[in-house]
Amino acid sequence: MEYVIETQGLSKSFGSLQAVREVSLRVEPGETYGLLGPNGSGKTTLMRMLVGLVRPTRGTGGVLGEEIPPDRVLSRIGYMTQAGALYQELTVGENVAFFGALSGVTSKERIQEVIALVGLEDRAKSTVGTLSGGLKQRASLACALVHNPQLLILDEPTVGVDPQLRSIFWDHFRKLNQQGVTILVSSHVMDEAARCTRLGLMREGSLLAEGSPGELKSQAGTGDLEGAFLKIAGGSHA
């Protein structure tokens, strides 16, 4: 079986700080893999290594069959950063068209389609700077989706998003999953974790445990994920 993401002992140090320690991760096609952990546990750094933005200090990894940094398969990856990261002076449509063009998608229909997918049809001509946080987040998702990526790497895509929109986002992820898109998503919100097919619990840079939400709960002997996380991670996380 070909894994979409496979890493062996992947580590990253910033000076004396070990941001990611010996992470060995396998993500299968069509999974929604959730990286769960408190702030500073290394989720962002791990994802940035996978898209080639940060060079690992140690270890190896492959994404879509390409050794990291995965320069040659970047057009098949959709990456959404924590910060949203859009051009504030451009409209929603222009932002989507821009990131689409960089990944080789110039079809106007596709751009309209993906804007409609995130429910921004009537704001397509609005300048991003004038949008609310939630709408910006939707536009940002559209930019990550525009080129029909096979793998989505989403770093806390629902941070600062209200519960209703969060639920809409997860419905999208489910749909994409069914179309065969693999998703690696990070979160520190437990109710999102329940919607992943598999979870990896991170703490202080290490991947402590892996499994489906059900497996983790039974492994910890608790009724909810929050409890399972506390028990496995040692109880003192923020």
Ligand X SMILES: Nc1ncnc2c1ncn2[C@@H]1O[C@H](COP(=O)(O)OP(=O)(O)O)[C@@H](O)[C@H]1O
- Asked if 143 is part of the footprint of other proteins (rule: CB under 8 A), the reply reads yes
Instruction: Look at residues 62, 46, 54 and name the one whose alpha carbon lies nearest to residue 202.
Output: 46
Cα–Cα distance measured from residue 20 to residue 50, given in angstroms and rounded to the nearest whole number: 12
Cα–Cα distance measured from residue 125 to residue 142, given in angstroms and rounded to the nearest whole number: 14
Write down the least CB distance from residue 92 to ligand X, Å: 26
- Asked if 81 is part of the footprint of Mg ion (rule: CB under 5 A), the reply reads no
Instruction: Look at residues 90, 67, 7, 66 and name the one whose alpha carbon lies nearest to residue 42.
Output: 7
Of the candidate spans 24-32, 100-108, 210-218, 230-238, the one that interacts with other proteins by CB under 8 A turns out to be 100-108
Exactly one of 40, 69, 119, 227 binds ligand X (CB under 6 A); which one?
40
Instruction: Look at residues 180, 211, 178 and name the one whose alpha carbon lies nearest to residue 194.
Output: 211
The β-bridge relationship of strands 5-14 and 206-211 is unpaired
Instruction: Give the nearer residue to other proteins in terms of CB position, either 73 or 190.
Output: 73
Q: What is the dihedral angle through the alpha carbons of 25, 26, 32, 38, rounded to the nearest 10 degrees?
A: -10
Of the candidate spans 12-20, 89-97, 137-145, 212-220, the one that interacts with ligand X by CB under 6 A turns out to be 12-20
Number of residues that bind ligand X (CB under 6 A): 11
Of the candidate spans 40-48, 159-167, 168-176, 193-201, the one that interacts with Mg ion by CB under 5 A turns out to be 40-48
Instruction: Give the nearer residue to other proteins in terms of CB position, either 110 or 237.
Output: 110
Q: How many helices (H) and strands (E) does the chain have?
A: 8, 11
Write down the least CB distance from residue 197 to other proteins, Å: 24
Exactly one of 4, 10, 19, 146 binds ligand X (CB under 6 A); which one?
19
> How is residue 169 written in tokens?
């986002």
- Asked if 37 is part of the footprint of ligand X (rule: CB under 6 A), the reply reads yes
Number of residues that bind other proteins (CB under 8 A): 34
Residues found near ligand X in the complex (CB under 6 A): 14, 17, 19, 37, 39-45
